């Protein structure tokens, strides 16, 4: 037990919990305050949408008997994997990155389990460029992955 619960596990769990709570809080605020579109910056709108698929709405049209097991089975696997990777790495940076990924996975997993679909509300567009709506969980998963790639490429760790 001592090997699993070390300072790197604590870093992971604190960051995972922080990301999870921030994600739920921002989704709640979105549901309460976003009615229609809110233009924040020329390239940033807040628009509440519900996504029953995965990233970019993929799997939305797949039959429930296939889509639901995939959507409910993948996040727990991701959380377990990121936890053990963070602990095994014995590196605070990796523990933070894995905590971001795990917290994001947990936030969207909660939505799918409790609501049946994921609440997205951040919409980026500029000119002809348009990016599908996303949420804090999605942003943290992406950030965690980008940080890991940068770490591997630049520092070869």
Write the burial class of residue 62 (CB in 10 Å: 0-12 exposed, 13-18 middle, 19+ buried).
middle
User: What is the enclosing helix (H) or strand (E) of 115?
Assistant: none
SS3 percent helix, strand, coil of the chain, rounded to 5, is 65, 20, 20
Q: Cα–Cα distance between 55 and 42 in angstroms, integer?
A: 24
Token code pair at residue 116: 């049946």
Catalytic residue among 23, 91, 111, 120: 120
Mark whether 138 is an active-site residue.
yes
**Would you call 23 a catalytic residue per the annotation?**
no
Of the candidates 23, 91, 111, 138, the residue annotated as catalytic is: 138
Residue-wise over 95-123: b if at least 16 C-beta within 10 A, else e? bbbbbbbbbbbbbbbbbbeeeeebbbbbb
Give catalytic residues, as residue numbers: 120, 138
């Amino acid at each position: 037990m001592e090997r699993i619960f070390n300072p790197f596990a604590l870093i992971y769990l604190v960051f995972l919990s922080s990301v999870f709570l921030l994600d739920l809080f921002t989704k709640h605020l979105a549901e309460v305050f976003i009615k229609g579109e809110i233009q924040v910056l020329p390239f940033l709108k807040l628009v509440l949408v519900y996504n029953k698929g995965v990233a970019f709405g993929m799997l939305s049209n797949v039959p429930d008997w296939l889509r639901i097991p995939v959507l409910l089975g993948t996040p727990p696997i991701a959380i377990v994997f990121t936890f053990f990777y963070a602990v095994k790495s014995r590196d605070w940076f990796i523990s933070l990155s894995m905590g971001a990924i795990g917290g994001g996975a947990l936030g969207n997993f909660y939505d799918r389990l409790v609501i049946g679909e994921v609440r997205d509300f951040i919409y980026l567009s500029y000119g002809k460029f348009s990016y599908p709506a996303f949420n804090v969980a999605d942003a943290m998963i992406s950030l965690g992955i980008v940080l890991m790639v940068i770490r591997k490429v630049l520092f070869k760790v």
